[in-house]
Amino acid sequence: MTSRKASHLNRHNEDKYSVLLPTYNERENLPLIVWLLVKYFDESGYNYEIIVIDDGSPDGTLQVAEQLQRIYGEDKILLRPRAKKLGLGTAYIHGMKHATGNFIIIMDADLSHHPKFIPELIAKQKDGNYDLVSGTRYKGNGGVYGWDLRRKFISRGANFLTQVLLRPGASDLTGSFRLYKKTVLENLVKRCLSKGYVFQMEMIIRARELNYTIGEVPITFVDRVYGESKLGGNEILSFAKGLLTLFATT
Ligand SMILES: Nc1nc2c(ncn2[C@@H]2O[C@H](COP(=O)(O)OP(=O)(O)OP(=O)(O)O)[C@@H](O)[C@H]2O)c(=O)[nH]1
Ligand SMILES: *[C@@H]1O[C@H](CO)[C@@H](O)[C@H](O)[C@H]1NC(C)=O
Ligand SMILES: [Mg+2]
Atom of ligand 1 nearest to the CA of 224: 23
Element (H, E) at 199: helix 197-209
52 CB neighbour count, 10 Å cutoff: 27
- Nearest-CA residue for ligand 1 atom 9 is 23
Q: What is the pLDDT of residues 75-120, one digit of tens each?
A: 999 999 999 999 888 899 999 999 999 999 999 999 999 999 999 9
**CA gap 55, 216 in Å, rounded:** 30
DSSP track, 65-85: HHHHHHHH-TTTEEE--BSS-
Atom of ligand 2 nearest to the CA of 211: 1
Q: What is the pLDDT of residues 153-195, one digit of tens each?
A: 888 888 888 888 887 778 888 888 999 999 999 999 888 877 7
**Summary count for the chain: helices (H), strands (E):** 9, 9
Tell me the fold of 3-249: Spore Coat Polysaccharide Biosynthesis Protein SpsA; Chain A (3.90.550)
3 state SS of 17: strand
Tell me, using a 6 A CB cutoff, whether residue 191 lines ligand 2. Answer: no
Task: Give the residue among 108, 90, 118, 111 at the shortest CA–CA distance from 193.
Answer: 90
